[in-house]
Structure 1
Amino acid sequence: MKYKRSEKPFSSFEKQKHSSELLSSLSLSLPTEQKQSIRETEMSAVKGSSKRRGKVSDDLISEKRKRDEDFDPDLSSDIKGIISALHQIRDKAQKDGQKKNEETISSVASEVKSMLDDSKSKLEKERQSFVKALTKSSKECECSLKNESAKFQAAHEKFSKEKEAHLHSFKDILSKFEDEKEKLLTRYEQQRKREKAMLSELEKACLVKIAAAESSLKKKKQDDKSFSILRKSLGSFLDCASDEDFPLDD
């Protein structure tokens, strides 16, 4: 940055103000420590300016007239020296800041890498532990499935054999039952025929007995009538005889 010398000479106050503005503008891009140093330099310059202002404050009216007298080439050279020093300080601060930034970035990168490595190691351990547990569980499950499958196969084969035996027994029982059923039906038909014949014979015998009984009753009735006539006939011949001497049953 190049600074042109003003064609118009500066008063001591204006020169000090100008240097303060330059210090303020340059201090914006510096680190905190360098800013503090610049502020101290600026404060010392302001104090010196206050002393000089005290000397010229009695004659403010003639300040314009004394501007040419107050112009000091050494002060301008000092300002340039200060500016050059500030440039050097700023460059050094930038380099130091860049170096610190690089160190900070390197430190942060190292910490991040360490954190990533730790996390990766932790995740890898957890993953290996999970894989071991999963493998163990899978083997146990596979072993259990094989055992249960073998038991099921044996039970299935046993059931199949027993099923065949039971089915054969069922078929034998059903066949035997069918034979017995046919025999019972035949026997039932024969029994039914015998019962019909027996009932028919019994009916005929009953009819014969009923007819004989009716005939006997009719004959007895006729005999009773004949006996009554005979009794009456005999009663007429016997004087002492009466109906009481000859009961009906006799």
Structure 2
Amino acid sequence: MSAAKRSGKGRGKATDPLMSGKKMRVDEELDAELDLSSDIKGIISALQQIREKAQKDGQKKNEETIGCVASEVRAMLDDTKSKIEKDRQTFTKALTKNSKECESLLRSEYAKFQAAHEKFCKDKANFIQAFKEIFSKFEDEKEKLFVRYEQQRKREKSALSEVEKACTSKITAAEESLKKKKQDDRSFSILRKSLGSFLDNGSDDDYGPMTDRHSSIHLCAPRALLSQLFCRRGSPPASPTNFLILVIL
């Protein structure tokens, strides 16, 4: 153990210069690192300056670009606005012109319509007055015609009544005549039958031919004479008085 200790101690002594050298190197490295860090800081500061400058330059360029674009946009907007204003003015002029023409035509047509309306109202009043006069005239005529109709109807009724009475009287007289004729025919038939039966009892030889001094007609026997008088077709009927006169003759 003592030998080991000794050897350890001897190594310790031998390694001291190495340790000091390493320490020096470390210090140098630290110094170098310190110098390097200061350089880096300088570089970083320079880079920051460059960056700031670049940012400033970029900002200027951006501002210039934006300004250029803004001016172009403003110019385009101004041109468009000017064009729109011009178009609006043209449209306004056309609209004003059309409005004036339309207003003028409307006034002219309204004046014509007003004149026509006034004329129509005047003609309407005249027509209505004429219609009223016509209706009044024909109302009077209607009343007169109605009175005439009533009078004519009364006259016709009276005439029909008179005709009816005359017809009734004639019919009654005809009926009486027919009744009388029928009675005469019945009396004549009875007389003929009576004379026929009476003459059948006599002889025709008792009577000779006789000559009428007023006519050259030969009278036949009474029976033949009666036969000719009453049995001949188409001969008019004779009354009993005429028959008796003929028989006596």
- Give the TM-score band, short-chain normalised: 0.5 to 0.7
Q: 1:175-186 residue pairs with structure 2 within 5 A? A: 175-186=136-147
CA deviation vs aligned residue, 1:164-218 (integer Å, no higher than 9, x gap)? 2211221122112212211111111111111111122112212221222222223
Separation of aligned partners in 2, 1:163 and 1:63 = 139
Segments of 5+ residues of structure 1 without an aligned counterpart are: 1-61
Q: Take 1:169 and 1:88, find their aligned partners in 2: how far apart are those partners?
A: 114
In 2, the alpha carbon distance for the partners of 1:110 and 1:89 equals 30
Is residue 161 of structure 2 the alignment partner of residue 200 of structure 1? yes
Asked whether 1:245 is paired with 2:228, we answer yes
Kindly provide the amino acid, as one letter, of the partner of residue 149 in structure 1. Answer: Y
> How many pairs are equivalent?
189
The aligned counterpart of 1:120 is 81
Q: Distance in 1 between matches of 2:38 and 2:157?
A: 163
Partner of 1:216: 177
Of 82, 90, 96, which aligns to 1:129? 90
Of 71, 85, 88, which residue of structure 2 is paired with 1:110?
Answer: 71
1:142 Cα deviation from its structure 2 partner: 1.1
Flag the structure with larger Rg. Answer: 2
> Which residue in the other structure is 2:125 paired with?
164
CA distance in 2, matches of 1:104, 1:110: 10
Measured in 2, the distance between the counterparts of 1:169 and 1:125 equals 64
- Residue 90 of structure 1 deviates from its aligned partner by 2.9
Structure-2 residue corresponding to 1:25: none
Is 1:154 matched up with 2:137?
Answer: no
Q: 1:239 to 1:180 in 2, by over 3 A?
A: farther
**CA 75–186 in structure 1, closer or farther in 2 if over 3 Å, else same:** same
State the match for 1:42 in structure 2: none
Provide the C-alpha distance between the structure 2 equivalents of 1:220 and 1:64, rounded to a whole number of angstroms. 203
Give the unaligned 5+ runs of structure 2. Answer: 1-20, 205-222, 238-249
Q: Structure 2 matches for 1:1-250, cutoff 5 A?
A: 66-70=25-29, 71-72=31-32, 75=36, 78-235=39-196, 236-237=198-199, 239-240=203-204, 241=223, 244-247=227-230, 249-250=236-237
- Give the counterpart letter for 2:229 in structure 1: F
Paired with 1:190 and 1:209, the residues of 2 have a C-alpha distance of 28
Q: Distance in 2 between matches of 1:201 and 1:64?
A: 184
Q: What residue identity is the alignment partner of 2:146?
A: L
Report the TM-score, using the length of structure 1 for normalisation: 0.64
Matched to 2:113, the amino acid is F
Instruction: Give the RMSD, CA atoms, in angstroms.
Output: 2.9
User: What is residue 36 of structure 1 aligned with on the other side?
Assistant: none
Distance (Å, rounded) in 2 between the aligned partners of 1:192 and 1:63:
172
With a CA cutoff of 8 Å and minimum separation of 6, indicate the structure with the bigger relative contact order: 1
Distance 1:222 1:100 in 2: 164
| CA-to-aligned-CA distance 1:68-115 (integer Å, 9 cap, x gap) | 444437645543543343243234223323322332332232123212
**3-state SS in 1 of match to 2:230:** coil
Cα gap change, 1:101 to 1:239, in 2 (>3 Å)? same
Aligned-residue sequence identity (percent) comes to 68
1:38-78 Cα deviation digits (max 9, x unpaired): xxxxxxxxxxxxxxxxxxxxxxxx99984444443764554
Q: 1:124 to 1:239 in 2, by over 3 A?
A: farther
> Aligned partners of 1:80 and 1:199: how far apart in 2?
157
